Amino acid sequence: MLVYEQTSTLAQLEEILLLQQLNLPKNLTTEEKEQEGFLTVEHSLAFLKEMHHECPHTIAIDQGKVIGYALSMHPKFANSIEVLKPMFHEINKVVQNNCNYMVMGQICVSKEYRGKGVFRGLYKAMKEKLPKGFDTIITEVDAKNQRSLQAHEAVGFIELKRYRSEGKKWSLIILT
């Protein structure tokens, strides 16, 4: 049975990293990237643990195995990942002072579970378990990643803006 919960063990964080590895561009063909989407950031176990201690990540588990995840990235980590620094800079330009947001740092669903509502379930569970004082979720998607853009739109994200950083075009989006 599929369940959604927040990370609570080191083993779950390690399973997230295994799933992440399978979906990094360096491990995918061009066709897979176009059809299935891809991840941009590769995390270390130490940093994933740091993020978890601030706000546990949301995971989908089936038969005891992590088959999907949505990483919670507290704004205090704005300067921790080089490729994400511009995103936080852009967020600060467009977000009102009364918006207390959590960044969804990365979302991934195991290939065999795609198209079965897991993506939607991860965001629903993440939003329900936002820490007290947080009211929305913001993330960005590589504008070339059409599968991810469409999936985010389908669960209620709207685009705040598009911008360029390090030769890539990004779509900054917020869950409404």
What residue ranges do the domains of the chain occupy?
Answer: 2-175
pLDDT at 145: 85
Instruction: Place 98 in a pLDDT band, splitting at 50, 70 and 90.
Output: low
CATH match of 2-175 with 3.40.630.30: yes
Q: How far, CA to CA in Å, does 105 sit from each of 20, 64, 93, 146?
A: 12, 23, 19, 18
Considering the entire predicted model, what is its pTM?
0.91
For 15-56, how does the pLDDT look when each residue is reduced to its tens digit (9 = 90+)? 999 999 999 989 999 998 888 878 878 999 999 999 999 999
- Would you state the torsion angle of the CA atoms of residues 77, 80, 84, 90, taken in this order, to the nearest 10 degrees? 50
